[in-house]
Amino acid sequence: MDSLALVAVASIISAGFCIGIGAIGPALGEGRALAQALTAIAQQPDETNTITRTLFVGLAMVESTAIYCFVVSMILIFANPFWKYFLTRMGG
């Protein structure tokens, strides 16, 4: 296997791990945050608006981690900075 193919394989595997781990972590965090918010609403129903607003802000922050992992995966697959280097080095 030449070095260009090795870079391609490494990029695809890295992108898969990045999006896989980057999706599992936020999913677990969002599930835990939702469970805690429902528990808090059950204990203090008068504070539902405040808890819900804070929950949505927190979920947006947690979800941004998954979005960053998705962006990194797309860069690794479609706009890899190593492609140009290896293409010029291989003469292609």
Burial class (CB in 10 A: 0-12, 13-18, 19+), 21: exposed
The model's pLDDT over 29-63, given as tens digits with 9 standing for 90+, comes to 999 999 999 999 999 999 999 999 999 999 999 99
* pLDDT the model gives residue 44: 95
Per-residue model confidence as pLDDT tens digits over 8-29: 888 899 999 999 999 999 999 9
CATH 3.40.50.2300 corresponds to the domain 3-90: no
Alpha-carbon distance 39 to 72, whole Å?
35
* pLDDT over 80 (residue 90): no
pLDDT for residue 92 is more than 70: no
In the structure, what pLDDT confidence band is assigned to residue 7 with cuts at 50, 70 and 90? confident
Q: Give the predicted TM-score (pTM) of the model.
A: 0.74
Take residue 71 and report the two structure tokens written for it. Answer: 């962006």
